[in-house]
Amino acid sequence: MDIDVRDKIYIDGAWVASTGTGTLEVVDSATEQVMATIPDGTAEDVDRAVKAAAAAFPAWAATSNEERAKYMTRIGEALGARMAEIGELITHEVGMPVSLAVPVQAGLPIQAFTDLAGHMEAFPFEEEVGNSLVVREPIGVVGAITPWNYPLYQIALKVAPALAVGCTVVLKPSEVAPINAFILAEVIDEVGLPAGVFNLVTGVGPIVGEAIASHPLVDAVSFTGSTGAGKKVMIAGAETVKRVNLELGGKSANIILEDADIATAVGTGVFGCFLNSGQTCSALTRMIVPRSKLEEVEAVAVGAAAGFPPGNPQTEGVMIGPLVSAIQRDRVRNYIKAGIDEGAKLLVGGPDAPEGLDTGYYIQPTIFSEVTRDMTIAREEIFGPVLVIIPVDSEEEAIEIANESQYGLAGSVWAGDPAHAEHVARQLRTGQVDINGGQFNPSAPFGGYKQSGNGRERGRWGLEEFLETKAMQR
C-alpha cells in the first residue's frame, strides 16, 4: 500500500500548512505498516482555526435553519458517494471487518448528516411562555475532540448538529484514525460551506486538544473518549467556564433474568460485546446471570464465541479483526492476564495471539465466568473482546451489581415478560437500556450517567447540546 501523505490542515476554507514541522504516522492495524502520515499540529494552528471560526460565526448563525439543513444534506449525500471508500479506509485504520465497516463506520455518519433536516424542522427553536418569547440560539464556536473507535460517526454526531444549528466548528480527530476526517473536510470544501465555518486541525490531545479546550474563543467543547482524558478536558474548559459535553467510558451490564430465553439473550450478548473487537464504549461487557442458569449460560456463550474467529478484516465472513494499535492490544492482554491471576474461570480465549495471526494487533475473543464483583475485569473498562459472566443469587443483587459501577453508559435486560424487563430497566442508572434485544435507534439520545459523562448526542437531543436559551419579555 502506498503511504497517504497528508501534509496540510483545513483552516478558514483552505488547505494550509501547519505551523509545526512534525508528522504523525497512521498504522494499518492488520499489517502493522504505516499507511499514512498527518501533520502534528500546534497550539498556534488551533489559535488560527478558532479565530477563523469566531470570525465566520455571525454570518453563519444568521443564515436560515433551512439553508443550513440543506448544506448538511448535501454533505451527507457527498459522503454517500464515497461510502465504499470510507468503509475500506476505516477497516485499515481501526480493524473492523469491511463487511461491517461499510454499513456501520460509513453508513451511520452519512445518516447523521442526512437525517438532520427532519430533526431541524421538528425542533422548537422558539416558543411563547407567558409574556416571554423563549428562543434557542447557537452557542458559538464549538471545539470537537473525537476518538478512534467509530471515528467518522463520532465526528458526525458533533459536527453535523453543531453546524446545523448555526455554530462554527474546530475539529481535532483522533491521531490514530484521522484520514476519514480529511475526507469529510474534502467533502465540506466541495459543497461550498463558507470559509471558517468548519476547520480541521490534527495532532495529539495534550497539545491540540488542550489548546481547543482552553481557548477563550471556544464557547463549547464536545469530547468523546476515555474518562481520564475527559476529566482533563473538563478542567481545561473550566478556566473560561465554557460548556463541556462529555461521552466517556462504560462497563455496561447485560442482566439476564431467570425466565429469559437464554439462547437468544446470551448469543445476542456475545455479539454485543465482541462487535468492533470490543472497541465500543457501550459494549455489554458484564453479563449478569442467575447462578442456577450459569452452566447453561456458559455453554451457549462458548458456542457463540466459536462463531467469532479473528481474521483479516478484508476477508469475507470475518466478524472480528485486529485491535486498533499495539498499545491497545497490550492493554487488553494485561487485563486478560489479570482475570486469570485473580481467579476468574477462563472459558475461551486468553492473552496469547490467535493462531496464525502473529502480524497485526489481534487478540483472542475471551470469555471469563465465575467473575466476582471485586475483580479488576468486572470493574474496569477493557475496550477489547473480553466478556465477563457474573453469577448472582437474586434479581436485587443483579441490579445492585449493575449500578455499583462508576460508569453508566448503556445496559440491557432480558426477561420472559417484557413488562418485568422494563421494570428492571427503569432501576438501572445508565443512559440507555436495550430491553429483550431492542434494536439500535440512531434518533434516540445517547450519553451516560455518572463517570460516563454528561450531555446527550443524536436526534433532537444532539441539537440541544449546541444551543443557548434566551428569554425576551414583552
Mean pLDDT rounded to a whole number for the chain: 97
pLDDT at 2: 87
Architecture of domain 253-441: 3-Layer(aba) Sandwich (3.40)
Average pLDDT, integer, range 276-294: 97
Q: Which residue is it, cell 490514530?
A: 176
pLDDT at 130: 97
Q: Where, residue-wise, is CATH 3.40.309.10 in the chain? A: 253-441
Kindly tell me if the per-residue pLDDT of 1 is higher than 70.
Answer: no
Residues with catalytic roles: 247, 281
What is the tens place of the pLDDT at every residue in 332-343? 999 999 999 999
| Beta pairing class for 34-39 and 23-27 | antiparallel
Burial class (CB in 10 A: 0-12, 13-18, 19+), 255: buried
Architecture of domain 4-248+452-473: 3-Layer(aba) Sandwich (3.40)
Query: Percent of the chain scored above 70 by pLDDT?
Result: 100
What is the tens place of the pLDDT at every residue in 309-333? 999 999 989 999 999 999 999 999 9
Q: Where, residue-wise, is CATH 3.40.605.10 in the chain? A: 4-248+452-473
What is the tens place of the pLDDT at every residue in 87-121? 999 999 999 999 999 999 999 999 999 999 999 99
Rg (CA), the chain: 22
CA quadruple 459, 461, 465, 468: dihedral positive or negative? positive
pLDDT at 297: 98
pLDDT at 457: 97
Average pLDDT, integer, range 432-461: 96
